[in-house]
Amino acid sequence: MVLLFDFIYRQFIHKPPPPTASFKGKTVIVTGGSGGLGLEACRWMIRLGASKVIIACRNIAKGEAAAEEVQATTSCSPDALQVWELDLSSYASVQSFAKRVTTELSRVDAVLANAGIGTRKFRMTEDNEETITTNVVSMTLLAFLLHPKLRETATKYNTQTHLTVTCSELYEVATFKESNVPDGQIFATLNDKSKAVMSDRYNVSKLLELYIIKEFAARFPVSSSGVIVNAVAPGFCNSELHREYSGVLVDFLVRILARRTEVGARTLVYGASVGEESHGQYVPDCKIKETKGLTKGKEGAELQHRVWVELKQKLEAIQPGVTTLS
């Protein structure tokens, strides 16, 4: 019931304010910047003065079209927007994207880890079900690979940089039945088609993102890194996220309930500019909020630890040493 009231309040009464922080001179990376919330976040960043916005996407033609649209509506210099290939369903693509960032960009002030999928179809990419590879494993791999660049930028320019993940309020309703297994078996169970609860899968992926942000932030404090790590939630928005669920009812609900992506994207931009009080925090609608559900208490702490231990092992198998940040 509380969740329902909260939903109604957020969708119909409260509107995240337009962002005002300056991104002047800054370089920003937006994954999934070719559409939906990511595209609108790119547009906001340009309006707020960013010198360079990297649209990181798997479909270059779609990314180029997005860049042209942002340029046409903001009259920014064509050089301000660059389209770089990044496919989160491939670890090799994540690694080569991160290598390019490290070698070609002189600074990175913010990474909006925004790309994500929602599906009820069980498909494997790399060694996981696709939602887990895209929203969880590759997102975390990218976070580890780009953290050194964010840290370097913070030191070199005497500033604080941001790693902001687009989470979702749906983490609250995750039942995460796949966690009722012995230690070390969570990812194997998520990747077992016969045991996967696909109706809960997107919610679980967003719960795992929260665990990761909390754990990552605790291990790499802003005081030593200069990198603020947080998770935002944009509310229910009219994007392409629901493409695999489309039908008369879903289309109707989206039309009457959903926010415009421009409005939801304000929360992403806020996350990439808010201060260090947001480190390790959940920031829906531009406000820090305590998390609920399976993140709470002893059970939440245990689950977070188990997920982190397993995920670290997976990342180390992809690239030995990647989780060791100085």
Residues that bind ligand NAP (CB under 6 A): 32, 34-38, 57-59, 62, 86-89, 114-117, 134, 166, 168, 233-234, 236-237, 239-241
Q: Which one of the listed residues 206, 214, 270, 282 is annotated catalytic?
A: 206
**Rounded distance between C-alpha atoms, residue 154 and residue 169, angstroms:** 30
> Which of 71/185 has CB closer to ligand NAP?
71
> Is the CB of 107 or the CB of 236 nearer to ligand NAP?
236
CB of 159 to ligand NAP, least distance (A): 26
Minimum CB separation of residue 198 from ligand NAP in Å reads 15
* Closest to 138 (Cα-Cα) out of 190, 186, 204, 91: 91
Q: Cβ(230)–Cβ(8) under 8 Å? A: no
* Cα gap 118→257, rounded to integer Å: 18
User: Catalytic annotation on 171?
Assistant: no
Could you tell me the sign of the dihedral formed by the alpha carbons of 86, 91, 96, 101, in that order?
positive
Whether the Cβ atoms of residue 195 and residue 122 lie closer than 8 Å to each other: no
Pairing of strands 124-125, 128-129: antiparallel
Please, what is the minimum distance in Å from the beta carbon of residue 324 to ligand NAP? 26
Of the residues 202, 211, 270, 282, which is catalytic? 202
Q: Which amino acid belongs to residue 152?
A: E
Gap between the Cα atoms of 68 and 263, Å rounded: 21
Q: How far is the CB of 168 from ligand NAP (least distance, A)?
A: 3
Evaluate whether 258 touches 238 at the Cβ level (below 8 Å).
yes
C-alpha–C-alpha distance, residues 82 and 131, integer Å? 26
Q: Whose Cβ is closer to ligand NAP: residue 61's or residue 309's?
A: 61
Which of 48, 100, 53, 107 is closest to 226 using CA atoms? 107
Tell me whether residue 84 or residue 220 sits nearer to ligand NAP (CB atom): 84
Q: How many CB atoms lie within 10 A of CB 24?
A: 9
- Residue nearer to ligand NAP on the CB measure, 83 or 186: 83
Compare residues 225 and 267 and give the one whose CB is closer to ligand NAP.
267
Q: Return the H-helix or E-strand segment holding 128.
A: strand 128-129
Residue nearest ligand NAP (C-beta atom): 36
- In whole angstroms, how close is the CB of 226 to ligand NAP at the nearest point? 25
* Distance of alpha carbon 315 from alpha carbon 326, whole angstroms: 17
Q: Could you tell me if 194 and 126 are in contact, meaning their C-beta atoms sit under 8 angstroms apart?
A: no
Tokens of 192: 């077992």
CB atoms within 10 A of CB 85: 14
What is the closest distance, in whole angstroms, from the C-beta atom of residue 113 to ligand NAP in the complex? 8
Is residue 206 part of the annotated active site? The answer reads yes
* Residues labelled catalytic: 202, 206
